[in-house]
Structure 1
Amino acid sequence: MWAQNSTHPETMEIQKLLNEIQTWKDKYSALADEVSTMEKDTLSIQSLVDQLQNSVDNQKSKIGEYEEKINRNEQEHKENIRIMLEENGKLELQIQHIKETSEHLEKETENLKKICSPGLIKKMVFKGNVGNNMSSLSVKHQIKYPVNGGSALITFQKPSVAQQIIAAQQHKVNVDECWINVKAEAVELSVLNSITVSKIIFNQPFLQMKKLECNRTVLITGIPDITENDNLRDLLEIHFQKPSNGGGDVQDLVYCPEGQHTVALFEDEDDGPLRE
C-alpha cells in the first residue's frame, strides 16, 4: 500500500525534475531549429551578398569602360575641332588671297581696257592659195602688247644679243651710285596665223593661232622708280649696250614707270615694238 502512494515527497520531486528536464529539452530543440534556420538564412544572405558584390563589380567595370570611352571620344572630338579650326584658318587665308588676287586682276583688266582695243588693226592680205574645195588666207597684222609699270621693252640690233640677255635672266644695273636687280624675259605674242574658209560651210571659218617669241626684243621687269624717267631710261640703255654686261647695240627702248601702263605695237616677230 505504501509503494503505490503517489504523493510521496521524493517521488513528486523527481517528477518535477523530469518535467523541467523535458521542458529544457523542448527549448533546446526549438533553439536548435532556430539556429539551423538562421544558418540557412545566413547562407542565403551571403549568397545574395556575393551576387550583389559581383553585380557591383560588373557595374564598376562597365562604368570604367564607359568613362574611358567618353574620355577617348572627348579627345578625338577636341582633335577634330582643332583640325577643323586649323583648316578653317587656312581656308580663310586662301579666300583672302583669292579676293586680293581677284581685285588685282580686276584693276589690271580695267587698266588694259583703257590702253588696249580688241581686234585686228591692220587689214588682212589674200595671198592667193586656192584649191578646188577650199580657199585659204594668210594674215599679217599688228599686235598690241601691254607693258605694266616698272618694266621696259628693249629691242637689240642682233637677235643673238637678245638671247644672251634672256639667258642671263638676272641683271644688276647701276643707277645713281646704287644697284638695282632687274629680270629679263622673252616677249611672247599670241597671233592669228591663218584663216581657212570652206566653200561649203562659208560661215564657219577655221582660225589657226600660233605663239611667237620676239627674236630681238626683251622684256625687263622689276625696275623701281628711284630717279627721273628720262635718266632711268638712259641708264638702262647704257647698261644693256655694254658687251661686258652681255649686251649690244640697242635699236629702241620703251620704258613704262611704276604706277603707269602703256602699250607696245608689234608688226612682226623680227621687228621691234612701234610707239603708239
Structure 2
Amino acid sequence: MSSDEDFSLVTEVKPPCEENLEGVKKLIMGCQIQHDQLLREQQDLVQSRDEQRDLAQQFKQRSDRLHKSLEEDRRTYAENVQSEKEKLVHLKQQEDQLRREIQRAEAAMREMEADNDDLKKQTSVSAAVPEKRVVFKGLTAGVPDMQLFDMTLRIVYPMEGGTALITFEEEIVARKILSLMKHEVNLGGEFCITVEAKPVQLMIPSQVEIDTQVCPQRILISNLPTMDSETLLNKLEIHFSKTPHGGGEVQECDLLHDSGTVVLTFVRTDVAKGLTETQYHDVKLEKGKKHRVKVTPFLNGKITDLKTEQVVCPRTVLLTGIPSIMEQDSLQDLLEIHFQKSSSGGGEVDAFLYNPLGQQASALFQEDCPSHREGAL
C-alpha cells in the first residue's frame, strides 16, 4: 500500500466526539481483543518455537547417537572382517600343514607298502640257503640257549716289524708269560736279546643286524653233484643263458666253496624271478645225463647295525722289541724253543708267527671255540 493511501485512511477517520464515544470504546475494545489475540498467538508461536527447538535438540542428540552407533558398527564390522581374515589365513595354514602331513603319511604308507612287498617276497622264499642233511644226536637245548644267528670270526691283525705272535695250548701259560713281561732269550753262546710280552687286544662284533632283500638279478643254485668246478660253472652258465630254459644273458657265475652252491648273476632284472618260480630244473651236467638242481632266490644282505667290543686273546701273546740279527727262520725257531721251556715260564706252543723289522705281515685270528669269542692265532 502507498503512502497516499495511508494518508487517505487517516483523513477519513472522524475526530472523536461524544456521539462517537461508544464507537471509540468499541474500537478500543476490539483492538484490545485483537491485541490479546495477538499475544496469545505470540505465546503459541513462542511455545511452538520452543517445542521445535526441543524437537530439533532431540533429533540432533538422536542423530549423534545414531552416528556414534554407526561408527561403532563400522569399527566392529572392520574388526570382525580382520578377525575373519586372520582366521581364514590360520585355516589356510592348517590346511597346508594337513596337506603336507597327508603327503608325508602317503609317502610313509607307500614306503611301508614297498617294505611289506619286500617282506612278502622274502617270506615267499622257500629256502635261500643250500639244503643240508642233518642228523639228530639226542641233545636238546632250551629256547633261550638257541642262537638265531651265528657267524665265524676271522679277524685280520696287522703286525709291526720286529714283533711276533705266539699262541699257547693253555691259557695259564699265556697269563704267566704276560705277568713276567720282560723275557731274556738266549740265542746261543753269549748272545741274548730281551723281548717284551704284551696282551693281544681285538675288536670283535658283539651284535650285528642285517637287512636282507631278494636280489632281482641273482639266483642261488644248490643240490649240485661233485665234479670239476670249471666244468660245472660252464654247464650251468650255458643252460641258464638259453631263453627256452627261461634264462638270459649271464653276467657272472661264481662258486661258493664253503657251501658248494653256485650264484648266477644275469644282465637283465626280469630273469631271476621267473627261474625261481620253478624250484627244480633238470640240467645236463654230465655227458648224456641230467641232474636236478634247485634254484632259489639270492638274498642281498646289508649291515644296518654293528656293535663291537674289545677282548683280550686268552692264549695269544704279542712279543715286541725283536731285533733283526739273524735269519728269520732261525730266530723264529729260537724264540719258539725258548717259550716252550717250562724253565722260562712257557709251555706247549700251538702257533707262532714272527715278522722281522722292515717287513709287513698280518695274522688271521679265528674263533677259538663256539663257547666263547676270544680268538686264537
Taking structure 1 as the reference length, the TM-score comes to 0.48
Greater gyration radius: 2
Q: Which has the higher helix share?
A: 1
TM-score by length of 2: 0.37
